[in-house]
Amino acid sequence: MQLELSPTDAEFRTRMRELFTTKVPQEIRDTVLAGRHLSHDQIVESQRILNAEGLAVPHWPTEWGGQDWTDLQRHLWHEEMQRAGVPLPLAFNASMIGPVIAQFGTQEQKERFLPATANLDIWWSQGFSEPDAGSDLASLRTSAVRDGDDWVVNGQKTWTTLGQYGDWIFTLVRTDPEVKKQAGISMLLIDMTSPGVEVRPIELIDGGHEVNEVWFSDVRVPGDLMVGDPGQGWTIAKFLLGNERVGVAPVGATKRALARLKSEAADLMDDPLVRARVAELENDLLALELTALRVVAHSSDGAPHPASSVLKLRGSELQQAVSELALDLAGPASLAARADDDSPQEGWARRSAPTYLNLRKASIYGGSNEVQRQIISRTILGL
Amino acid sequence: MDFTPDDEQQALREAVRGLLATTYADHDARRRTVAEDPGFDEKLWGRLAEMGVLGLPFSEADGGVGAGPVEIGIVCQELGRVLAPEPYLASVVHAGGLVAACGTAEQKADVLGRLSAGDLVLAAADTAPGARWSSANDGVRATVEGDAWTLTGVADPVVGGARADLLVVTAALPDGGTGLFLVSPEAVERTGYVAADLTRAASVRFDASAATPLGEPGRDLSASIATISDLTRIMGANQALGVMQSQVRATTDYLKSRTQFGVTLNTFQALTFRAADMYVSLEMAQSMVDWATMTIAGGDPAVVADAADRVGLTIARTGRHVGQEAIQLHGGIAMTAEYAVGVGAAHVEVLGQWLGNGAHHLSRLADRVGEHEMVDAV
Ligand SMILES: Cc1cc2nc3c(=O)[nH]c(=O)nc-3n(C[C@H](O)[C@H](O)[C@H](O)COP(=O)(O)OP(=O)(O)OC[C@H]3O[C@@H](n4cnc5c(N)ncnc54)[C@H](O)[C@@H]3O)c2cc1C
């Protein structure tokens, strides 16, 4: 056992730190650092800069822009990006559909989609969840029926994050209602400008518009836009949801949020109770960071690590706990959440309530914390 | 960076585990051992010496093995797994550590040589009644006349103090500061007692007791004393980790085998989820323990002190979470002395209250939150 980074990894980290702080515009990084909302254009601009530097999709196969890094290097890349306030590459593109197409796609699909996906020329949305299929995703009902070479899709997806920006959506659809529910699911790539696709906004408790309903009415999808074979969708979805071991817990971002809070609410840091809450959170975050390092530092085979669930569970809890502290420190100033920009209340305090409310999602999406507990108790503890 | 024990470390773990299993194959054996004086198994102590385990932390020149912190941590984890009552932390890590840090060359060779060989059990007397985790011990005062030093006062609790062949005592020096002394048990009055986890401690009364200064006479050794205490805390965290690992394993096994309402308990999700949370706590604690242990090798006392506070806080929180849940999920059986999980909870609590509890470490960390922007693992 040994704590220090190897010289190669230390040098790697320095190089990342340098690239992230010099290549990505300060204004974009400031937006992230201050916890303000990024615009569509800022997200696209930042990902294109990263892609030009070979930093957008390092975990993809090398022929499609990947870097052949170790898990530890990927971890350092991810942490340094968060530390510098660089927007993370759009997860739907970089972490979800990209690796899926690289693994299961046809050569044509790879050539058509992968470069555009890496460069965010296509903005992907994730169309998995439905009103009656959340944690129990396999019970989804959106149907795709064969018609000549095409599939005809009908149904409704929901919770589609940033679907208002989506160019394409990767969906799970039911292609065979007769077989066992998992076996009848397939994955289709759907152009969101196709006739019959309708995106409707959902307003969340923080007042923002980040999720949508997506309706499909007789949408025709060419047959060559199915990923894998009919009925293979569930396997592909499990690959997509399970192939993340790096970055499941937003350690860097949460550490940064807490550090920022300490400096912004500096006048409240004299209160011993506040200091104790900060100290406790810092300690828990250190344990989380170390656990993430333990998971990545000694693994090169790329298989999903069961401890990913541990990281997701604890990572979301701590992310939420920091937002709770911010709200408590803001106090009455937090009421000014929707006040004008010339409000005398400080920005961090005004954002504290919406951020607190928004982050309740962290323990629901991407496999709720109950689902993670289920995975831990079943697959790790054998209960 | 590497969090995996190497082959030799793994072999050490297996060897120690194997040896401990000859004595503590089940919890009954531990119960029988702690029921009688001196509260641990002298034969096992001798075999630990033969295996080189008692000399692990000390240099070869002093009769030891010269191993690193990770190795000592592994031993402590294994001791914790079976709730071994042997005074390894008190005698080897803590008292032996003080001698190694502060003794003269002759003192080290003599005391550590005999300690490593299993011929001498040490105990550190460093706590005044009612005092709380300080490197200054004003319960005992040192006086000097000519070259002759004597000590007067009370130290309590002295962990492992009743059986010890030699006491390593911290005492307030006549000119200020804290010194260290070697004191023969014949020179003091000792009253042994049993702690909540059935391990042994003692009250030691000094009454103009003859004492030999450890190292250079009259020198203030507070800084070294503090560092050795921090090392002991980190090793205590390793020991607590071993206990908690056993508790989580026992709880999982129990949920799979205990039948109520016609089904095994793991049928009830309310329970499996609580077991999952215990596992999460345990993983976080393991990360902190490995990390804190590895910081020792760097040799910077400030870094080690910080790591000791951090791991101390984590262990205090995890110890209660895992220990309390282990008892609750076992139900009544865990309340019995014949069952290990409940006794494990007592042991972790004793370790924490001896070496520094959660409130203590949290308050020290809270004092320092303004000194850094964020806390980084490396
Ligand atoms: C902000 C946000 C963004 C999202 N973005 C997307 C997106 O872009 N694309 C997409 O496809 N989906 C998205 N989702 C959907 C998300 O994945 C689902 O919300 C999630 O899977 C939970 O499903 P549900 O909301 O239907 O809750 P339900 O499954 O109905 O669960 C309700 C409660 O019951 C618990 N529960 C469910 N089953 C069990 C069980 N077996 N044991 C114990 N407890 C259980 C859950 O944990 C939860 O607490 C998003 C969700 C949110 C909130």
* Among protein residues, the one whose CA lies closest to atom 43 of ligand 1: A370
d(CA A149, CA A225): 10
- Mean pLDDT throughout A221-230? 98
CA angle A145, A150, A153 (to 5 degrees): 45
Of A1, A285, A373, the CB nearest to B276: A373
Question: Do the beta carbons of residue A373 and residue B277 sit within 8 Å?
Answer: yes
Closest CA to A126 of A237, A226, A206: A237
State the closest ligand 1 atom to the C-alpha of A125, by its place in the atom list counted from 1: 8
Centre of ligand 1 to C-alpha A360, Å, is: 12
Q: What is the mean pLDDT of chain B?
A: 97
For B51-83, the pLDDT digits (tens) are 999 999 999 999 999 999 999 999 999 999 999
d(CA B307, CA A178): 59
pLDDT of residue A300 exceeding 70, the answer is no
Q: How many other C-beta atoms can be found within 10 angstroms of the C-beta atom of residue A68? A: 10
- A269 contacts on B by Cβ (under 8 Å): 369-370
- Mean pLDDT throughout A182-202? 98
Half-sphere exposure of A298 (CA within 13 A, CB side): 13
B212 Cβ under 8 Å from any chain A Cβ: no
Structure tokens at B190: 């000792």
pLDDT of residue A254 exceeding 80, the answer is yes
Closest CA to A67 of A90, A94, A42, A48: A94
Say what the pTM is: 0.95
Question: Considering only residues 312 to 341 of chain B, which have any Cβ-Cβ distance to chain A shorter than 8 Å?
Answer: 313-314
Contact partners, residue A303, CB within 8 Å, separation at least 6: none
d(CA B90, CA A129): 57
Question: Do the beta carbons of residue B178 and residue B137 sit within 8 Å?
Answer: yes
Residue from A244, A280, A317, A370 carrying the catalytic annotation: A244
pLDDT of residue B23 exceeding 60, the answer is yes
d(CA B155, CA B137): 8
Closest CA to B200 of B161, B238, B231, B145: B161
Tell me, yes or no, if A244 is annotated catalytic.
Answer: yes
Give ipTM to 2 decimals.
0.94
d(CA A298, CA B258): 36
Centre of ligand 1 to C-alpha A371, Å, is: 9
Residue A305 pLDDT: 63
Structure tokens at A282: 């810092």
Q: For strands B166-172 and B122-125, give the pairing.
A: parallel
Centre of ligand 1 to C-alpha A366, Å, is: 8
